[in-house]
Amino acid sequence: MIQIKNLSKVYQTGSTMLQVLKEVSLHIRPQEFVAIIGPSGSGKSTLMNMIGCLDTPTSGSVIIDNHSTSSLSEDELAEIRNSKIGFIFQSFNLLSKLNALENVELPLIYRGVNTNERRQKAVKFLTLVGLDDRMDHLPSQLSGGQQQRVAVARALAGEPPIILADEPTGALDSKSGKELISILHRLNELGHTIVLITHDLDIAKQAKRVVRIHDGMIVSDTKAGD
Amino acid sequence: MNFNQAVKLAIAGIKGNKMRSFLTMLGVIIGVSTVIILVSVGQGSTKQVTGQIESMGSNLISVSIRGRGGVSGLNYQEALKLGDRTGVSGAAPTISGNVTVKFGTKTVDTSLEGTNDKYATVRNQKTSSGRFLLPIDITYRQKVVLLGSEVSRELFGFGNPLNQEVKINGVKFKVIGILEEKGSSMGGSNDDKVLIPITTAMRLLANPQISSISIQAKTKEDVDTVVRQLEAALLRKFKDEDNYRVFNQAEMLSTVNQVTGTLTLMLGGIAGVSLLVGGIGIMNIMLVSVTERTREIGIRKAIGAKRRDIMRQFLVEAVVVSSIGGILGILIGFLGSKGLGSLLKISTVISPQVVLLAFGFSVLVGVFFGWFPANKAARLKPIDALRFE
């Protein structure tokens, strides 16, 4: 599903070069639930941006569902993001002027899905995350946990095989956080590949596979039960 | 994302920031409405002046004689002879002067024109009641008068002046007709005058010299030939070009049209500049908007918006702002030109071409000035846009 080979990323600020990822290789199979854990500055967010096709690597390759991302144009990358990947961000990243339903519809709008089908799907996924009674609320009228669930519904709307969650519980209280993790588990059972980025060991432990990253390198890769 | 959604999105964006959107539109509104108002005033005055010139008669040639007395004068017979040539369908020599017209206790100072029966066709002067001068009035020096509508109103109010007797400079005249209203022109009011037979006028004013001759050519094509012949004949008679002038109506018309056309273009140009300034206002606000919404752009890109989706979103927003501004500008321009017309008592003409042009230009302004900010938004890298705070 996701194949990362010798991935390096170097940021250049002025004359100083900062290598955030050093020759990282990682293979994530379909329907895996992987947690990528590491302290801040370890390069885990950069890794996620590469997987999510939001950023381009300095060297190495990222292959998503048999598409090598380095050979794709910006618009083709947008298409990959739209059809293959659902994002869940730490800061929710909902559009503040759109209500819950419209936010969830957004990926389908860019896919060119017609109004009726769009609405149906958005309602379906909002119901799945338990927000069927909050559909016309603006993000500002929802609690953090509810906003994150809208974001989950949005990530699901395009029915992507991969869900990328970057510190999804970071801005939530512990109860909402637990609920969110259980939603992710349910999605995994439904067949989505889940990649969860976190610095919280307790959350990482709930994944089936834990990849530890430190100073831009993978230091351990353990499966649950090992 | 299709076009409909882009428009909906743009309208939502505009509604989300009403005050700012309005201020952005204001530039376009002012631009479009001033274009429409100024051009309508320009075209209105063109139409008015053209109408007046045309109402003087078609294929008209006016000869004015400046000399007074002796060699440099022209009497009635000479004037008629001057006009008696092929290509001329009629000539109306005119003597003019200022007189006092009196009816009962009311008096009016007005201008008097003594002319012949041809005047009616040559100058396209109809009567609204009564009859015009007849050849017999000229031959027998009848003391009959036609009153201009203004003179008639002042002397008789709403009463019927026909067959009444008025005194012109103390001499009794019978009113035989009322001249049809023509409105005022550059040369003053056409309705504040009285017409009497030319032969009578010579005696009344004690002046046998013709002051002007109105000559009508048979066709448009004859005008130039007749003008040349007249000039040659007049030069032979007066030996001095300063003693007479020959006006060609068609020439006058084209000169006037040229002048007013230039004026209209200039007014439109000045207004066009304000439309341009309005466009720069749109670009300014759109650039601010792009910066403000960098994060939104990042989110949209993260969930699959392509470059052209973002481009379209911002471009459509700019065009929608400028188009709404254009429509409001047209409405205000319409009201403004009507209001200005009635306030200043000038005629204004709103031509559909100008409205279309102004609207089209305002849309173009939106596209042109929206392009740069939209492109800037579309080129943002998703990760940079997402990280933007």
Q: Where are the alpha helices (H) located in chain A, listed in sequence order?
A: 44-51, 74-84, 100-111, 115-128, 144-157, 174-189, 201-204
Q: Which percentage of chain A shows pLDDT scores above 70?
A: 99
Give the model's pLDDT for residue B116.
92
Nearest-CA distance from B365 to chain A in Å?
27
- Closest-CA residue to B50 (of B42, B268, A202): B42
Burial of residue A199 (CB within 10 Å: 0-12, 13-18, 19+) is middle
Q: Which percentage of chain B shows pLDDT scores above 70?
A: 96
Buried/exposed code over A166-186 (b: 16+ C-beta within 10 A; e: otherwise):
bbbbbbbeeebbebbbebbee
Pairwise CB contact (< 8 Å): A93 & B301: no
Give the model's pLDDT for residue B252.
81
Give the model's pLDDT for residue A154.
95
Pairwise CB contact (< 8 Å): B304 & A97: no
Pairwise CB contact (< 8 Å): A87 & B305: no
* Banded model confidence at residue A29, pLDDT cuts 50, 70, 90: very high
Residue B302's DSSP bridge partners are: none
Residue A134 has pLDDT above 60, yes or no: yes
Q: Which domains does chain A have, with CATH numbers?
A: 33-53+74-223 (3.40.50.300)
Give the model's pLDDT for residue B388.
82
Give the model's pLDDT for residue B50.
82
Classified as helix, coil or strand, A43 is coil
pLDDT tens digits along B102-124: 998 999 999 999 999 999 888 88
Q: Which of B13, B296, B305 sits opposite A110 (nearest CB)?
A: B305
Separation in Å, CA B348 to CA B46, B65, B275: 9, 36, 21
Among chain A residues, the shortest Cα distance to B304 is held by A82
Give the model's pLDDT for residue A174.
87
pLDDT tens digits along B267-317: 888 888 888 888 888 888 888 888 888 999 999 999 999 999 999 888 998
Mean pLDDT of B248-255: 82
pLDDT tens digits along A43-90: 888 898 999 999 889 999 999 988 888 889 999 999 999 999 999 998
| Residue A217 DSSP code | E
Burial of residue B245 (CB within 10 Å: 0-12, 13-18, 19+) is middle
pLDDT tens digits along A138-155: 999 999 899 999 999 999
Separation in Å, CA B337 to CA A15, B96, B340, B345, B354: 64, 39, 5, 11, 13
Q: Which of B301, B304, B381 sits opposite A111 (nearest CB)?
A: B304
Cα–Cα distance for residue pair B285/B279, rounded to 1 Å: 10
Determine contact: B2 vs chain A, CB below 8 A.
yes
Tokens describing residue B117: 């029966």
Q: Which of residues 194-223 of B touch A (CB under 8 A)?
A: none
Q: Which residues of A touch B (CB under 8 A)?
A: 49, 52, 54-55, 74-75, 78-79, 81-83, 87, 89, 93-95, 97, 106-107, 109-112, 154, 158
Pairwise CB contact (< 8 Å): B302 & A52: yes
* Banded model confidence at residue B101, pLDDT cuts 50, 70, 90: very high
Kindly state the helix (H) or strand (E) to which residue B86 belongs, with its residue range: none
Residue A136 has pLDDT above 90, yes or no: yes
| Residue A198 DSSP code | E
Give the model's pLDDT for residue B171.
93
Nearest-CA distance from B5 to chain A in Å?
8
Q: Which percentage of chain B shows pLDDT scores above 90?
A: 29
Average per-residue pLDDT in chain A?
90
Cα–Cα distance for residue pair B176/B143, rounded to 1 Å: 10
Contacts of B12 in chain A (CB under 8 A): 97
Buried/exposed code over B188-201 (b: 16+ C-beta within 10 A; e: otherwise):
ebbbbbbbbbbbbb
Are B9 and B321 spatial neighbours (Cβ–Cβ below 8 Å)? Answer: no
Q: Which of B5, B304, B309 sits opposite A81 (nearest CB)?
A: B304
Cα–Cα distance for residue pair B290/B282, rounded to 1 Å: 12
Give the model's pLDDT for residue A63.
93
Among chain A residues, the shortest Cα distance to B388 is held by A93
Mean pLDDT of B313-328: 90
Rg (CA), chain B: 33
What's the ipTM?
A: 0.92
Q: Which of B1, B300, B302 sits opposite A54 (nearest CB)?
A: B302
Give the model's pLDDT for residue B272.
83
Tokens describing residue B175: 């009113």
Average per-residue pLDDT in chain B?
87
Determine contact: B309 vs chain A, CB below 8 A.
yes
Nearest-CA distance from A152 to chain B in Å?
12
For testing contact with chain A, the best of B299, B303, B307 (most A CBs within 10 A): B303
Among chain B residues, the shortest Cα distance to A157 is held by B303
Give the model's pLDDT for residue A79.
92
Residue B259 has pLDDT above 90, yes or no: no
Give the model's pLDDT for residue B208.
81
Are A161 and A81 spatial neighbours (Cβ–Cβ below 8 Å)? Answer: no
Are A70 and A59 spatial neighbours (Cβ–Cβ below 8 Å)? Answer: no
Mean pLDDT of A24-35: 93
Burial of residue B352 (CB within 10 Å: 0-12, 13-18, 19+) is exposed
Among chain A residues, the shortest Cα distance to B386 is held by A93
Are A196 and A166 spatial neighbours (Cβ–Cβ below 8 Å)? Answer: no
Pairwise CB contact (< 8 Å): A78 & B304: yes
* Banded model confidence at residue B132, pLDDT cuts 50, 70, 90: very high
Nearest-CA distance from A49 to chain B in Å?
7
> Strands, E, within B157-220: which ranges?
165-168, 171-179, 184-185, 188-189, 193-197, 212-217
- The separation between the first and the last C-alpha atoms of chain B, rounded to the nearest angstrom, is 26
Burial of residue B372 (CB within 10 Å: 0-12, 13-18, 19+) is middle
* Banded model confidence at residue A105, pLDDT cuts 50, 70, 90: very high
Give the model's pLDDT for residue B250.
79
* Banded model confidence at residue B7, pLDDT cuts 50, 70, 90: confident
Mean pLDDT of B54-60: 79
Determine contact: B4 vs chain A, CB below 8 A.
no
Residue B349 has pLDDT above 60, yes or no: yes
Mean pLDDT of B20-40: 89
- Closest-CA residue to B29 (of B268, B195, B275, B256): B275
Q: What share of chain A is helix, strand, coil (3-state, %, to 5)?
A: 40, 30, 35
pLDDT tens digits along B8-20: 878 887 887 888 8
* Banded model confidence at residue B347, pLDDT cuts 50, 70, 90: confident
* Banded model confidence at residue B169, pLDDT cuts 50, 70, 90: very high
Specify whether the backbone of B348 is left (phi greater than 0), alpha (psi in -120 to 50) or beta: beta
From A165-169, A173-177, B12-16, B300-304, the region with the lowest mean pLDDT = B12-16
Give the model's pLDDT for residue B357.
87
The dihedral formed by the CA atoms of B354, B356, B362 and B366, expressed in degrees to the nearest 10:
-160
Among chain B residues, the shortest Cα distance to A111 is held by B1
Q: Which of A81, A93, A110 sits opposite B309 (nearest CB)?
A: A110
Pairwise CB contact (< 8 Å): B299 & A97: no
Residue B68 has pLDDT above 70, yes or no: no
Separation in Å, CA B63 to CA A45, A95, A190, B58, B84: 94, 79, 101, 15, 14
Determine contact: B97 vs chain A, CB below 8 A.
no
Are A60 and A4 spatial neighbours (Cβ–Cβ below 8 Å)? Answer: yes
Classified as helix, coil or strand, A130 is coil
Pairwise CB contact (< 8 Å): A78 & B5: no
Cα–Cα distance for residue pair B30/B333, rounded to 1 Å: 9
Long-range contacts for B327-331 (Cβ within 8 Å, ≥24 apart)?
B327/B359, B328/B25, B328/B29, B328/B32, B329/B28, B329/B29, B329/B30, B329/B31, B329/B32, B329/B33, B329/B35, B329/B36, B329/B358, B329/B362, B330/B32, B330/B33, B330/B36, B330/B355, B330/B358, B330/B359
Cα–Cα distance for residue pair B154/B163, rounded to 1 Å: 17
Give the model's pLDDT for residue B187.
53
Contacts of A89 in chain B (CB under 8 A): 386
Q: Which of A49, A83, A97 sits opposite B12 (nearest CB)?
A: A97
Instruction: For the sheet with A16-28, list strands across it.
Output: A16-28, A2-13, A59-64, A67-68
Kindly state the helix (H) or strand (E) to which residue A221 belongs, with its residue range: strand A217-223
Give the model's pLDDT for residue B70.
53
Nearest-CA distance from B324 to chain A in Å?
22
* Banded model confidence at residue B181, pLDDT cuts 50, 70, 90: confident
HEC string of B101-152 equals: EEECCEEEEEEEEEECCCHHHHCCCCEEEECCCCHHHHHCCCCEEEECHHHH
* Banded model confidence at residue B176, pLDDT cuts 50, 70, 90: very high
Are B35 and B358 spatial neighbours (Cβ–Cβ below 8 Å)? Answer: yes
- Closest-CA residue to B290 (of B385, B365, B364): B385
Give the model's pLDDT for residue A85.
93
Among chain B residues, the shortest Cα distance to A75 is held by B306
Among chain A residues, the shortest Cα distance to B15 is held by A97
From A176-180, B180-184, B205-209, B241-245, the region with the lowest mean pLDDT = B180-184
Cα B359 to chain centroid distance, Å, stands at 23
- Closest-CA residue to B330 (of B275, B277, B276): B275
Give the model's pLDDT for residue A204.
87
